[in-house]
Amino acid sequence: QVHLVESGGGLVQPGGSLKLSCVFSGGDFSAYAMAWFRQAPGKERELVGLSRFSGSNTLYRGMARGRFTISRDNAKNTVYQEMNSLRPDDTALYYCAASTGYGRYTPGDYEFWGQGTQVTVSP
| pLDDT bracket for residue 55 (50, 70, 90) | confident
Q: Is pLDDT of 54 > 80?
A: no
The whole-angstrom separation of Cα 11 and Cα 48 is 19
| pLDDT bracket for residue 63 (50, 70, 90) | confident
Beta-bridge mates of residue 49: 36, 60
Average pLDDT of the chain is: 94
Give one DSSP letter per residue of 76-121, joined into a string.
TTEEEEEE-S--GGG-EEEEEEEESS---SSGGG-SEE---EEEEE
Terminal Cα distance for the chain, rounded = 40
What's residue 99's pLDDT? 95
| pLDDT bracket for residue 65 (50, 70, 90) | confident
Q: What's the average model confidence in pLDDT over 58-72?
A: 90
What's residue 42's pLDDT? 94
Q: Is pLDDT of 101 > 90?
A: no
